[in-house]
Structure 1
């Protein structure tokens, strides 16, 4: 696992609007006022992605404890996301970075051009939409949730210190 070099920590996260269902859209700026976890992943139905997203579903109460929204993002379409989420019991939004393919992943420098898929990249954004933590893992490695939870805990601590 390596740190993502750009977008840099402290930098404002690029905004986006992606489909979260056949007739639904989600805009990142809608979530201002709460921490956000962006979990880019290569593809639905990939065994490592299935394990990773199942883990995030299992620890979703921990993310909720920190007031964080969790968003999964891949280049798959909304119908593929819907079938995969139903099959795997995933309840958090899966966003389709489908057309133009990988546009949001590219904005986060989290796109694998040779394969045409998103990197396995994680970003934690603060309540104001600034990147506070980022990590990219090899495509065949489940990064787990420890780094995300540590970053969310640090945000909570910083907020308590400032208050």
Structure 2
């Protein structure tokens, strides 16, 4: 695989979406959770999305319940939580696993293209972020602790 456009995912309403939908856009793909210490990052992610969406930037949120069972709700509950508490308008997708046998093929690709600390592929926690350029190639991986505002320069550098 040479880019993310060969993958299909399901949106928060379980509708199939081709990643080709986002061709030509700069993407920040994030595994999210509603009950995590990093959940307030949703506010910063939404701010980045609002600030740069007219320049072709999109945040894609993929809820994940693999870490501390911090995303126990249904897709409907997740969408409501994100909208009510953080005014999220960026696209949300159906819950995914990001590690293990049932890991999302998209996240398997992202992890192989941008390794973590010490060259590891596995995702360590919620709110790991992958920056993808307009050609669909993974440019950079950010850890959970990297706040959205701290990665803004990396985003603007490839817009």
| TM-score normalized by the length of structure 2 | 0.68
1:32 corresponds to which of 10, 23, 30: 23
1:121 is aligned, of 115, 128, 131, to: 128
The answer as to 2:3 corresponding to 1:12 is yes
How far apart, CA to CA, are the structure 2 residues paired with 1:120 and 1:70? 12
CA-based RMSD of the aligned residues comes to: 2.8
Q: Is the 8 A contact 2:10 2:16 kept in 1?
A: yes
Q: Distance in 2 between matches of 1:105 and 1:74?
A: 12
Unaligned runs of 5+ in 2: 66-73, 112-120
Q: 1:22-61, CA deviations, whole angstroms, 9 ceiling, x for partnerless residues?
A: 25333222111111111223x2232421x00112123322
- Structure 1 residues 63 and 25: CA distance shift in structure 2, 3 A: farther
Looking at structure 1, the residues matched to 108 and 34 of structure 2 have their Cα atoms a distance apart, in angstroms, of 19
Q: What are the equivalent positions in structure 2 for 1:6-155 lying under 5 Å apart?
A: 12-13=3-4, 15-41=6-32, 43-49=33-39, 51-75=40-64, 77-88=74-85, 89-98=87-96, 101-103=102-104, 104-109=106-111, 111-112=122-123, 119-137=126-144, 141=145, 143-155=146-158
8 Å Cα contact 1:18/1:26 also seen in 2: yes
**How many residues end up aligned between the 2 structures?**
136
Q: 1:14 to 1:27 in 2, by over 3 A?
A: closer
> TM-score under structure 1 normalisation?
0.66
Q: Which runs of 5+ in 1 are unaligned?
A: 1-10, 157-163
Per residue, is there more strand in 1 or in 2? 1
